[in-house]
Amino acid sequence: MREVTIAIDAMGGDHGPHVTVRAALAVLDRFEGVNIILVGLEDVLLTELQACKAATGTRLRIHHASEVVSMDDPLTVALRGKKDSSMRVTAELVKRGEADAGVSAGNTGALMAVSRFVLKTLPGIDRPAIATTLPSHGGRTYVLDLGANVDCTADHLLQFGIMGSSLAAVAEHKDRPSVGLLNIGEEAIKGNDIVKQAGEMLRDSGLNFRGNIEGDDIYKGTVDVVVCDGFVGNVALKASEGVAKLIAEELRSQFNRNPFTRLAGLIALPVIRAFKRKMDPRAYNGATLLGLNGIIIKSHGSADVFGFQQAILRAVEEVRGGLLRRIADQVREHHGRHNTIGDAA
Amino acid sequence: MREVTIAIDAMGGDHGPHVTVRAALAVLDRFEGVNIILVGLEDVLLTELQACKAATGTRLRIHHASEVVSMDDPLTVALRGKKDSSMRVTAELVKRGEADAGVSAGNTGALMAVSRFVLKTLPGIDRPAIATTLPSHGGRTYVLDLGANVDCTADHLLQFGIMGSSLAAVAEHKDRPSVGLLNIGEEAIKGNDIVKQAGEMLRDSGLNFRGNIEGDDIYKGTVDVVVCDGFVGNVALKASEGVAKLIAEELRSQFNRNPFTRLAGLIALPVIRAFKRKMDPRAYNGATLLGLNGIIIKSHGSADVFGFQQAILRAVEEVRGGLLRRIADQVREHHGRHNTIGDAA
């Protein structure tokens, strides 16, 4: 198995090193062939390692970065003010090839801006997109964009399709993942003009395009990859989270109503636990900033040790699967066929 | 309590008269002061009434309509081809004042087109919107638009805010319902240009506007009314349905895993049932076609007798609450303040 080095913005996220360091150690413990660079304030990270009774070594090193991008920092500060931030240095390690991928739980907007500034986009890709997986009836569905681009052209949506297909191919080991375009009706005549035009371009793209799909198809597993603009994708994702939370609360409150329901809950506990494990949102933590000339994974800011591990493992998976080369190949193939995409237009 | 007459497109929906007639009879049985006109093929409706051991009378009559709009009929057929359809005649009874409101489980696009053609929009409203309620932490949230308008201007979104606020005021008996604008971040700088502009207009509208909200706020109950364009609203609604279905399936399959889990399921059954009742999507059936010069409620096509009853009761509620007058007042009030809305611009 290919040796992989992951740079971790160890200062990012709601819990900072307390979570990132423990997650890194857990990954090193469980997975061979993975090396980790913890990026951040050296003394803080050393203290945290000590607290975990761990130390640096051949597979784990610290790369000092003197600044930290906070959740409230405006983009300009993240981009120009803090040139030695753990976030930016993480991206630079990827850029210089010292790391194969970077992982951060920092502010999404800042991470996207910094990563794009440092790494640039792949040839043929105008705008990076945020992609993640969501649970579906048959497995998992890749959805993009989730908020990097609020106004998309049809060409951007086509590029999302190409990138998402590459991501699903690499992560799911599928040769030709199916792609659907998020719309409000299955008929091609529905939807706004940009979506209609994107549908025609996707149909003609050489991708395994299955046409329009609707919001519920994300969770039915109708296709492997769902393409949408970042506004719609973000709302769909957050609305889904909201429903899931409401259902969980309601179930809890029903089991807590009286002694009898509490007893029933106790008896059903193993089932409820298995159910929770299966639907655990932490297992889906880790969004790929797709389309950059380097692999950057964004972890949820509130991720715990288990969740942050999943984000690191996603980075490992994408490096080993050769994600960047796969996207570049698909763009080139599409370019050869159409001569219409991105900067080749 | 004000006497109310509801016209029902008795032929619409997946189950037609089998559901609509039974739902009408159930409402007549349970609620005083409600009269119903069943619109459709007279002999079919009479047969159905006979099967239910019921007959027409002072509170229930049949209005014959010789044609039926099918789910597959193109808009032009619904609009121009079938002038004596049960759907169209239902709208005409509302137009002529023979009924106070109409209810149909027919094709949404056809119902909107026919209703708009027959009833026209209220003064100051450019485009009708589809509004429905969704369950939230504290009660229910009104969301619009859910698919009538895929491309909206800021002015349209403002009009949705005014109409949604009127609807929530009438249905929830609240004086100044809170209104939120669906966006992808809480900060006013986020979102696309149209949403930003709509935010400024809503802030300045005299409505109880609470600013931007995100997808999960729909279910948190952060505001009474959520405003969005029809593309985003439709995707959010369908994605929510998809998650809820996936969770229900997973819960069922976990309880069915083996004899022990099945026993636990049996013991937890009363709790699961109470939970299901609380989250029953049928209780939320019935979307208002808002902004028309008449009250038209669209029922889910697959609604059963219980679900279709809810749609009828929603119509009754909106008539009794004086929805149309409330919208007209709010538009006039806003017009007086700004002189910028709709046809008064």
CATH code at position B2? 3.40.718.10
Residue B345 or B284, more confident: B284
Last residue of a domain, one of B262, B283, B304: B283
CA–CA gap between residue A168 and residue A201 (Å, rounded): 20
pLDDT at position A340 is 52
pLDDT digits (tens, 9 = 90+) for B44-72: 999 999 999 999 999 999 999 999 998 88
Question: Which of B190, B228, B264 is closest, CB to CB, to A271?
Answer: B264
Six token digits for residue B138: 């504290």
Residue B186's pLDDT band, with cuts at 50, 70 and 90, is low
How many A/B residue pairs have CB atoms within 8 Å? 177
B219 with A267: Cβ contact below 8 A: no
**Confidence check: pLDDT of A187 > 80:** no
**Confidence check: pLDDT of B338 > 80:** no
Residues in chain B closer than 8 A to A184 (CB atoms): 147, 150, 230-231, 234-235, 238
- Picking from B184, B223, B300 by the largest number of A CB atoms within 10 A of its own CB, the best residue to mutate is B184
pLDDT digits (tens, 9 = 90+) for A38-48: 999 999 999 99
Residue B280's pLDDT band, with cuts at 50, 70 and 90, is confident
Q: Which of A37-41, A206-210, B184-188 has the lowest mean pLDDT?
A: B184-188
Residues in chain A closer than 8 A to B184 (CB atoms): 147, 150, 230-231, 234-235, 238
**Confidence check: pLDDT of B341 > 60:** no
| Burial of A72: CB neighbours in 10 Å, binned 0-12, 13-18, 19+ | exposed
Considering the domain architecture, whether residues B135 and B230 belong to the same structural domain is answered as yes
Considering the domain architecture, whether residues B144 and B245 belong to the same structural domain is answered as yes
Strands B129-135 and B225-227: unpaired
Question: Which of B136, B235, B265 is closest, CB to CB, to A236?
Answer: B235
CA of A129 to nearest chain B CA: how many angstroms apart? 15
Find how far residue B57's CA is from the centre of its chain: 29
Q: Which residue of B has its CA nearest to A276?
A: B251
Last residue of a domain, one of B227, B255, B283: B283
Considering the domain architecture, whether residues B273 and B315 belong to the same structural domain is answered as no
pLDDT digits (tens, 9 = 90+) for A228-279: 999 999 999 999 999 888 888 888 888 888 888 888 888 888 888 888 887 7
Give the mean pLDDT of B331-335: 86
B239 with A274: Cβ contact below 8 A: no
CA–CA gap between residue A310 and residue A316 (Å, rounded): 10
**Residue A343 placed within a domain:** no
Considering the domain architecture, whether residues A107 and A235 belong to the same structural domain is answered as no
Considering the domain architecture, whether residues A143 and A112 belong to the same structural domain is answered as no
Residue B283's pLDDT band, with cuts at 50, 70 and 90, is confident
Question: Which of B135, B238, B250 is closest, CB to CB, to A214?
Answer: B238
Considering the domain architecture, whether residues B41 and B79 belong to the same structural domain is answered as yes
Residue A186's pLDDT band, with cuts at 50, 70 and 90, is low
Give the mean pLDDT of B105-115: 93
CA of A329 to nearest chain B CA: how many angstroms apart? 32
Question: Which of B137, B257, B271 is closest, CB to CB, to A264?
Answer: B271
Residues in chain B closer than 8 A to A275 (CB atoms): 250-251, 254
pLDDT digits (tens, 9 = 90+) for A84-123: 999 999 999 999 999 999 999 999 989 999 999 999 999 9
Question: Which of A215, A246, A263 is closest, CB to CB, to B137?
Answer: A246
**Confidence check: pLDDT of B124 > 60:** yes
pLDDT digits (tens, 9 = 90+) for A16-40: 999 999 999 999 999 999 999 999 9
Considering the domain architecture, whether residues B66 and B132 belong to the same structural domain is answered as no
Residues in chain A closer than 8 A to B249 (CB atoms): 137
pLDDT at position B269 is 86
**Residue A332 placed within a domain:** no
CA of B124 to nearest chain A CA: how many angstroms apart? 24
**Residue A309 placed within a domain:** yes
pLDDT at position B344 is 42
Of A118, A98, A104, the C-alpha closest to A40 is: A104
Give the mean pLDDT of B254-258: 87
A254 with B192: Cβ contact below 8 A: no
Residues in chain B closer than 8 A to A234 (CB atoms): 184, 214-215
Considering the domain architecture, whether residues A146 and A254 belong to the same structural domain is answered as yes
Residues in chain B closer than 8 A to A132 (CB atoms): none
pLDDT digits (tens, 9 = 90+) for B195-217: 999 999 999 999 999 999 999 99
**Residue A340 placed within a domain:** no
CA atoms within 13 A on the CB side of B263: 6
Interface confidence: ipTM more than 0.90:
no
pLDDT at position A190 is 59
A215 with B261: Cβ contact below 8 A: no
- Picking from B134, B140, B219, B220 by the largest number of A CB atoms within 10 A of its own CB, the best residue to mutate is B219
pLDDT at position A305 is 97
**Structure-token match 């149209």, residue found:** B194
CA–CA gap between residue B196 and residue B208 (Å, rounded): 17
Considering the domain architecture, whether residues A279 and A140 belong to the same structural domain is answered as yes
Percent of chain A topping pLDDT 70 = 96
Contact B35, B4 (CB under 8 A): yes
**Residue B224 placed within a domain:** yes
A241 with B216: Cβ contact below 8 A: yes
Question: Which of A192, A234, A270 is closest, CB to CB, to B151?
Answer: A192
Residues in chain A closer than 8 A to B214 (CB atoms): 234-235, 238
Q: Which of A132-146, A267-281, B105-119 has the lowest mean pLDDT?
A: A267-281
Cβ-proximal residues to B327 (8 Å cutoff; 6+ apart), any chain: B122, B125, B162, B163, B166, B290, B291
CA atoms within 13 A on the CB side of B47: 8
CA–CA gap between residue A108 and residue A147 (Å, rounded): 9
Range of the domain at A53: 1-124+291-321
pLDDT at position B340 is 52
Residue A279 or A300, more confident: A300
- Tell me the range of A116-120, A132-136, A330-334, B273-277 where mean pLDDT is highest: A116-120
Contact A314, A130 (CB under 8 A): no
Considering the domain architecture, whether residues B132 and B118 belong to the same structural domain is answered as no
- Picking from A232, A246, A272, A279 by the largest number of B CB atoms within 10 A of its own CB, the best residue to mutate is A246
Residues in chain A closer than 8 A to B232 (CB atoms): 231-232, 235
CA–CA gap between residue B340 and residue B156 (Å, rounded): 12
CA–CA gap between residue B278 and residue A207 (Å, rounded): 43
Per-position DSSP letters for B186-198, written without gaps between them: SSTT-S-HHHHHH
Question: Which of A232, A264, A265 is closest, CB to CB, to B231?
Answer: A232
Contact B127, B120 (CB under 8 A): no
B231 with A150: Cβ contact below 8 A: no
Considering the domain architecture, whether residues B251 and B316 belong to the same structural domain is answered as no
Question: Which of B193, B235, B243 is closest, CB to CB, to A235?
Answer: B235
CA–CA gap between residue A156 and residue A300 (Å, rounded): 25
Considering the domain architecture, whether residues B32 and B92 belong to the same structural domain is answered as yes
Question: Which of B215, B232, B267 is closest, CB to CB, to A264?
Answer: B267
Spell out the alpha helix ranges (H) of chain B.
17-30, 42-51, 75-76, 86-95, 108-119, 154-172, 193-203, 217-220, 230-255, 259-279, 305-320, 323-338
Total of domains in chain B: 2
Residue B189's pLDDT band, with cuts at 50, 70 and 90, is low
B236 with A241: Cβ contact below 8 A: no
The whole-chain average pLDDT of chain A stands at 91
pTM across the whole model: 0.90
**Residue A93 placed within a domain:** yes
pLDDT at position A138 is 81
Residues in chain A closer than 8 A to B190 (CB atoms): 150
**Residue B335 placed within a domain:** no
**Residue A223 placed within a domain:** yes
Residues in chain A closer than 8 A to B264 (CB atoms): 267-268, 270-271
AA letter at B154: A
Residue A156's pLDDT band, with cuts at 50, 70 and 90, is very high
pLDDT at position A277 is 81
Residue B185's pLDDT band, with cuts at 50, 70 and 90, is confident
Residue A343's pLDDT band, with cuts at 50, 70 and 90, is very low
Residues in chain B closer than 8 A to A271 (CB atoms): 254-255, 257, 261, 264-265, 268
B219 with A238: Cβ contact below 8 A: no
